[in-house]
Structure 1
Amino acid sequence: MLADGSRLFSTATARQLTRIVTPIPINDPPPELSPLRTNFHGYALGLDIRDYRGHKLVTHTGGLPGYVSRIAMIPDVSLGVAVLTNQESGEAFDAIAFHILDHYLGAPPFDWIDGYQKVLTRTSESTAALERSATATRDATSKPSLPLAKYAGAYRDVWYGDIEIVEQGGRLSMRFTHTPALTGDLEHWQHDTFIVRWKDRELRADAYVTFALNPDGSIDQAKMRAVSPDTDFSFDFQDLLLKPLRQ
């Protein structure tokens, strides 16, 4: 509803926007965040839909390096919350949003800051342990199977499109042709696996690039996977299957 009393869009449109299109499997929340246990969950037309304390909850997040935000709406009680922050912790804006929702819903007191802090600490410790394990088990003495120039060329994923790998001065670099920010240097990790270090370090999304060879020693394909489990889910490198374009 606008200030002059007119509607920006109709009630029917609002219902359509918040109707689940893609169901999402339900998982139990961490025990420290037990109020987040839900009975249904799905994605509507650009909005996350789930139940919260017996009410339909409509949410969405947003963010750029340096600031993140969340909106949360409970339509049946005409409640909406917008949390705008100048920091990068999703746990922080969630704690604020759920604290405000609980206040207006008359829910029992719950320490959201403490709950999210415990989950964040455990997740950080787990991530650090995985990184230490990867480094400890790496075969640092291994070499690539082929001269670096043999890995260079144009590759194509049927979903994404073309990706270029270039050899220059004894080094490899990778460029996603449709995503200029995804440009970086390939560092040898072990065997035929490299790590692409994106030049834009704010991406925080370095990824393994693993090449598989044909019996004749030519490149058959390359697959990718984020190095850190903390990498934002939108970097779905694991879904790419890069096939070399034969000249």
Structure 2
Amino acid sequence: MGGYALGLDTRSSASGNVHWTHSGAFTAGAATTILMIPALNTGIVVLTNTWPIGVPEAIAASYAEIVETGALTKDWLSIIGPAFAPFTTPNNTVDGKPKPANPKPAKKLTTYTGSYRNDYVGEVKIVKDGKKLTMRIGPDLETTVPLFHWTANNFGYTSIDMPKGFTGGAVFQKTKSGKAQALYLDEVGPDVGVLTRD
């Protein structure tokens, strides 16, 4: 059984020891992990400048197995690696759906412009930039992300610091009043990815 607290995953190993772990997997070129075994007063940090394919986690799992049992009995990369496939496989979807062959038209772009926010993401501003929309996000709204139409009220964007094909979705909701009242960012997730209009 595992849990997540203070930024660390907690779980018990096969030998019964508690492991504290955290990984960072960034397609922009970093894959990292930390694994601590408090009962044995040991741990390992693995930093790489590679794509997230499970290498740091496999190294840490190998280390933990050797420390706890005295031998390496598993090919940890073949066990852990497949879980990282989504990080290196372009999704090219918005809200889990590929772009339709015949996309439905968007409403007037001013339907979508304005500020949206929630406590997790903070403020996101959608602005009209000529005949397109741009999303401004991050502290002081300094990160500018061009949006491209997908279908109906759904727009896509190339995920920040990701290669082409890694598409994030900006899905505008509740548009009947002439102004979208909510914005769903599918990369953030269903629980904390819904922002409401200011």
Which TM-score tier does this pair reach, normalised by the shorter chain? 0.7 to 0.9
Per the alignment, residue 6 of structure 2 pairs with: 45
Q: Distance in 1 between matches of 2:92 and 2:165?
A: 16
The C-alpha deviation readout for 1:109-150, integer Å capped at 9, x for no partner, is 111122234x258x45xx66885x933x62534201x22133
**TM-score, normalization by structure 1:** 0.63
Per the alignment, residue 4 of structure 1 pairs with: none
In structure 1, what residue type is equivalent to 2:134?
S
Q: How does 1:1-247 map to 2 (within 5 A)?
A: 40-53=1-14, 54-62=16-24, 65-89=28-52, 91-106=54-69, 109-117=73-81, 119-120=82-83, 123=85, 131=93, 134-135=97-98, 138=100, 140-144=102-106, 146-176=107-137, 178=139, 180=141, 182-197=143-158, 200-201=161-162, 206-226=167-187, 235-236=188-189, 239-245=192-198
Shift of residue 108, structure 1, vs aligned partner? 6.1
> When you count helix as a share of all residues, which structure comes out higher?
1
Change (3 A) 1:80 1:212: closer
% same residue: 26
Q: Distance in 2 between matches of 1:139 and 1:56?
A: 50
Q: Distance in 1 between matches of 2:120 and 2:97?
A: 29
Unpaired runs of at least 5, structure 2: none
Unpaired runs of at least 5, structure 1: 1-39, 227-234
Change (3 A) 1:220 1:85: closer
Number of equivalent positions? 191
Q: Specify which structure has the bigger relative contact order, considering alpha-carbon pairs within 8 angstroms and separated by 6 or more residues.
A: 2
> When you count strand as a share of all residues, which structure comes out higher?
2
In structure 2, what residue type is equivalent to 1:143?
P
In structure 2, what residue type is equivalent to 1:212?
Q
Q: Distance in 2 between matches of 1:221 and 1:103?
A: 51
Change (3 A) 1:79 1:171: same
In structure 2, what residue type is equivalent to 1:86?
N
Q: Distance in 1 between matches of 2:144 and 2:136?
A: 4
Shift of residue 103, structure 1, vs aligned partner? 1.5
Shift of residue 190, structure 1, vs aligned partner? 0.5
In structure 2, what residue type is equivalent to 1:165?
I
